[in-house]
Structure 1
Amino acid sequence: MNVSLQSLIDPLVALVREAGAAIEAVGHGALDTQRKVDDSPVTAADLAAHQVLVEGLPSIGSRDWPILSEESASIPWSERRGWSTYWLVDPLDGTKEFIRGSDQYSVNVALIDNNLPVLGVIGKPRTGEIWVGEPARGAWYQASDGGAWESLQVRSHSPLRLVVSRFHRGASTRRLIESLGNVEVEELGSSLKCCRVAEGLADLYPRFGPTSEWDTAAAQAVLEGAGGHLVDCHSWRALRYNAGDSLLNPAFVACASLDGVWRDVWPD
C-alpha cells in the first residue's frame, strides 16, 4: 500500500463528521425503523450516513479500494477474497442507542490492509468527539471540530474498571464480573466502550456475544494505537478481517494489557 496513512486522516475525519451530521439531520422523531434479516434495526439515519461514506471514501486514498459497509454487506466471499486493502464501515454503530434517544452511537470507518486495521476513525455525532488510531504510530482524541488533538495511552487501574454493553450483558460477562469481585462496571454503547479503554479510563471490555467485523475494526485501530489490544479470547491474538466467508467476529476482549488477574478467571 503505497499511501501515507497520515495524509488520509484529515479528509477521513471530515467525512466522518459529515456522516455524523447526516445522522443528526434525520433526527429522532421520524426514524422509520425497519428490520434486517438478523432482526437488527436499521433506520433512515443508518442509510443516510452510509450514503455519505460510500460517496466520499473513493476520493480518499485510492479509488481502487473497495468499500464494505454494514448496509451493503452482501458482497460474496468469491469477490472479497481478492481484496488486500479496503474500507470497512459501520455508518451508525449503536442503532438501538440512537433509537432510544441516547448519544452513545458512533460512525466507524477503518482501513484494512492484509487482514488487519491500519487506520481507524470513530466519530460521536451528538457531541462532535473524534477518536483516531493508527496502530503503527499512535492514537488521538479531539473533543470538538477544530479543537486540539490529545494523544491517547491505555492505563491500568485498581480496582479493575470494566465497560460492558447496555444491551448485551450475557451470562459469561456476569460470571466474569462475579469472579473478579471488587471491580467498577460502566455501561456504554457502540464502539465507545473500546474508546474508553484507549483513553486510559477503563481496563477491559469483554464481549462474548455475536458481533460483526464492522463493529470492531475502527475501534481496534484506535485501541492498538493507544497501546492496548483487541483479541480473540481463545487464541489471544488480534482480530483479523476478511479472512473467510463469515463476517462474524469470535468472542473477544478489548483490554489495556493482556496480563492481569482477569485472565485467571476468564470464563471458558
Structure 2
Amino acid sequence: MNKALISQLLNISSQAGEIIMDIRKNSTEFSVKDDNTPITEADKASHEFLLNALSKLTPNIPILSEESSHIPFSVRTSWKEYWLIDPLDGTRDFIDGSPDFCISIALIKNNYPTFGLIYSPFNQVHYYRLDNQPSIKVENRKSFKILTSKPKRWKKIVVGRYSINNKGLKEHLKLKTNFETFKLGSALKFCLIAEGIYHYYPKFGRCSEWDTAAGICILEGAGGSVVNLDNKALKFNLTEDIISPSFIATA
C-alpha cells in the first residue's frame, strides 16, 4: 500500500464521517436488524458511500461490511485479501448522543489485518497503521507516531459502555487489583490504548470481526497486543458467523 492510497483512504473516511455527522444533526432514529442490533440511516449511508468509494479505488479487492454480512461463507472462504469495514461502529453511542462512534476499515490478508484505519467523525481524528509499520494518529492535518504506556500507579481499564454488566467481564475484573474502570464506546478503545491513555480492554460477549480488525492492527503497531482467552491471536474469515471470540487487548 503506497502513500497515495493512504491519502485517498483518509479522504474517503473523512467524507463518510461528514455524511454521518450531517445525518446526526437531523435524526438518530433507528430500526432493529434480525440480530437484534440497531441500524440508523447514518449506518446505511456510510455503508453505501464506502462501498462505492472502495470499489472504485481497489476494484479487484472484495469488500465485507457489517451491512453486507449476508455474503455467503462459501464465497468469502476463497478470499485471500478483502476489505473489512464497519461503516458506523458504536451505533448505540450514536443514537444516545455520545461522541464515541467511529468508522473502521481494515485490509485482511491471509486471515489477519495488515492495514487498519479508524476515524472518529466527532473529533475529526484518524488512526491508522500499515503492515509492519508504527501506528499513526492524524489530527489537525498533523501526523505523529503513537505508543502505548505502562501504568504509573494503577491500571486504567476501558470497557464498553453497554457491556459493563456482562457476567464474564465482572468475573474477570474480580481477579484484577489496582485498577480504575472507564467506559467508552466503539473500536476507539483500541486507539486510546494505542496512544497511551488506557492500558487494558477485556471483551466478553458478542463482538463481530469488523469491530476488532482495524483496532487490532493499530494497537499492535503501537506496542500493544490482542489475544483470545487461550492467549492466541485472533484470526478472521474462518467461520460462517463472523464473530470474534472473547479477547484481551493490552498495552
TM-score by length of 1: 0.89
Q: How far apart are the structure 1 equivalents of 2:239 and 2:89?
A: 23
Show CA shifts across 1:22-71 (max 9, x none).
Answer: 101112542331110111000000011101100101233x3111000001
Superposed, 1:13-32 pairs within 5 Å as 13-32=10-29
Q: Measure how far apart 1:6 and its partner are.
A: 4.3
Answering whether residue 229 of structure 2 is matched by residue 229 of structure 1, we say no
Could you say which residue in structure 2 is the equivalent of 1:126? 122
Give the number of equivalent residue pairs: 249
- Deviation digits for residues 149-198 of structure 1 (CA, Å, limit 9, x no counterpart): 11011121131111011101212222332322320211100001111111
* SS of alignment partner, residue 248 of structure 1: coil
Whether 2:245 is the aligned partner of 1:250: answer: yes
Q: How does 1:1-268 map to 2 (within 5 A)?
A: 4-60=1-57, 62-144=58-140, 147-157=141-151, 158-169=153-164, 170-234=166-230, 236-256=231-251
Name the % identity. Answer: 36
Q: Which of 4-13 and 224-233 deviates more?
A: 4-13
Measure the CA separation in 2 of the matches of 1:197 and 1:57. 28
Aligned partner of residue 117 in structure 2, secondary structure: strand
Structure-1 separation of matches of 2:201 and 2:3: 28
Q: Tell me the secondary structure at the aligned position of residue 135 of structure 2.
A: strand
Residue 215 of structure 1: SS of its match in structure 2?
helix
The runs of at least 4 aligned residues of structure 1 exceeding 3 Å deviation read none
Letter of the 2:238 partner, please give it: A
In structure 2, list runs of 5 or more residues that go unmatched: none
CA contact (8 A) 2:148 2:223 kept: yes
